[in-house]
């Protein structure tokens, strides 16, 4: 099914599939292609409206009977780490960060496969080969970075056995640089280091990165109330979610569940009509004041 706005892009809806987060629910996505000279502006604009990027596609949940998936982001200026998050930072302070161009490597893929086999063996990405992995990393029409976290040679702790004298890749995050923040597209880490909380650490480090360069938000993807897989996102302070067309503090929506009446979910045509697009090249938006 295709839906159009007065100007490009074209929006489409996927067929219903089993929801990976809430048992008994089905999911479908509203999506559009991301390409050409307007890709960056479209990614920046739609990310502010709850969309996420996957390679050359921008998508947002558009389920017919549920609206539980809420795009989440951290307000960098207001963020304060919790006691456990401060411990996480100390525990991982020996990691070295390196931001590179979006280029896939054999070392990344080896870590990615180990991560999937350990944590998501039955997930939708379980059968990805090295070519599909390279496409996930490299097919980006916007400003993206691969941020690698490595153990320094010779470092060790009770939770980290000696791994030799060479550099050891511990975690990787594919990150988009938006005009108002950093968007964590996908991250993975060494399953042997699960107790170190590297998923949390990468988010904390992205908050620090955003603060250093003056970007106000860190986009985390979707928070799904009722899903244990996504519960960790609500543990970050200064978290807000995109709900009913606006960003709201997550504390206002902690009782938000998937138990929504089907008639409370807006039809796809209304959802598309409410999307704000960036101005066409060479055009400026009219002033809001008369």
Whether 211 is in a domain gets the answer yes
Q: Does 143 reside within a domain?
A: yes
Whether 145 shows a pLDDT value over 90: the answer reads yes
Domain presence at residue 90: yes
Structure confidence by residue, pLDDT tens digits, 154-202: 655 444 444 444 679 999 999 999 999 999 999 999 999 999 999 999 9
Global model pTM greater than 0.95 = no
Residue 274 lies in a domain: no
pLDDT digits (tens, 9 = 90+) for 119-131: 765 666 778 899 9
User: What's residue 167's pLDDT?
Assistant: 78
| Cα atoms in the 13 Å half-sphere on the side-chain side of 161 | 3
Strands 217-223 and 181-189: parallel
264 vs 51 pLDDT, higher one: 51
Would you state the pLDDT for residue 275? 94
> Does the residue 281 lie in any domain?
no
For residue 65, what pLDDT band results from cuts at 50, 70 and 90?
Answer: confident
| pLDDT of the residue at 260 | 58
What's the average model confidence in pLDDT over 74-93? 98
Q: What pLDDT score was predicted for residue 165? A: 45
Name 70's Cβ contacts closer than 8 Å, sequence gap at least 6.
Answer: 50, 222, 223, 224, 225, 241, 242, 243, 253, 256
CA 215/CA 223 separation, integer angstroms: 21
Residues 3 and 274: their CA atoms lie apart, in Å, by 12
Calculate the CA dihedral of residues 116, 119, 120, 121 and round it to 10 degrees.
Answer: 80
Structural domain contains residue 32: no
User: 212-223 in b/e burial notation, b at 16+ Cβ within 10 A?
Assistant: eeebebbbbbbb
The residue range of the domain holding 144 is: 77-215
Q: DSSP of 189-228, one letter per residue?
A: E-GGGGGG-HHHHHHHHHHHHHHHHT--EEEEEEE-TT-G
Round the average pLDDT of the chain to a whole number and report it.
87
Name the β-bridge partners of 26: 18
Q: For the domain that residue 84 is a member of, what is the CATH number?
A: 3.40.630.30
pLDDT, tens digit, 9 for 90 and up, residues 224-242: 887 888 889 999 999 999 9
**Residue 5: pLDDT band by 50, 70, 90 thresholds?**
very low
Cβ of 282: how many Cβ atoms within 10 Å? 5
Question: What is the 3-state secondary structure of 42-84?
Answer: HHHHHHCCCCEEECCEEEEECCCCCCCCEEEEEEHHHCCCCHH
Closest-CA residue to 146 (of 160, 136, 156): 136
Q: Between 77 and 281, where is the model more confident?
A: 77
Among residues 141, 164, 135, 133, the alpha carbon closest in space to that of 151 is found at 164
Distance CA 84, CA 237 (A): 12
Domain annotation covers residue 237: no
Q: Is residue 158 part of a domain?
A: yes
Count of domains observed in the chain: 1
Q: Looking at residue 289, what is its pLDDT? A: 45
Contact (CB, 8 A) for 205 and 191: no
**Taken in order 138, 201, 29, 126, is the CA torsion positive or negative?**
positive
Tell me the per-residue pLDDT of 108-118, one tens digit each, with 9 for 90 and over: 999 999 999 98
User: pLDDT band at residue 21, thresholds of 50, 70 and 90?
Assistant: confident
């Amino acid at each position: 099914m295709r839906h159009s706005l007065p100007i490009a892009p074209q929006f489409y809806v996927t067929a219903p599939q089993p929801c990976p987060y809430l048992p008994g629910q089905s999911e479908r996505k509203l999506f559009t292609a991301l390409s050409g000279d307007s890709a960056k502006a479209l990614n920046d604009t739609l990310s502010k409206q709850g969309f996420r990027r996957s390679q050359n596609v921008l998508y947002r949940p558009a389920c017919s009977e549920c609206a539980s998936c809420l795009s989440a982001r951290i307000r960098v200026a207001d963020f304060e780490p919790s006691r456990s998050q401060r411990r996480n930072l100390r525990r991982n302070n020996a990691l070295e960060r390196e931001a590179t161009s979006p280029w896939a490597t054999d070392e990344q893929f080896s870590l990615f496969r180990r991560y999937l086999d350990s944590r998501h063996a039955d997930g939708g990405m379980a059968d990805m080969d090295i070519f599909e992995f390279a496409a996930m990393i490299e097919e980006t029409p916007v400003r993206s970075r691969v941020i690698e976290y490595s153990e320094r040679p010779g470092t060790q702790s009770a939770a980290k056995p000696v791994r030799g004298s060479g550099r050891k890749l511990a975690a990787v995050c594919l990150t988009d640089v938006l005009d108002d923040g950093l968007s964590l597209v996908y991250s993975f880490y060494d399953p042997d280091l699960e107790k170190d909380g590297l998923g949390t650490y990468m988010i904390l480090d992205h908050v620090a990165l955003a603060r250093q360069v003056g970007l106000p938000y860190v986009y985390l993807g979707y928070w799904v109330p009722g899903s244990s897989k996504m519960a960790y996102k609500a543990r970050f302070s200064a978290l807000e979610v995109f709900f009913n067309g606006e960003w709201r503090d997550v504390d206002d929506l902690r009782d938000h569940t998937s138990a929504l009446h089907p008639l409370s979910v807006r039809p796809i045509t209304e959802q598309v009509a409410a999307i704000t697009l960036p101005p066409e090249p060479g055009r400026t938006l009219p002033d809001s004041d008369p």
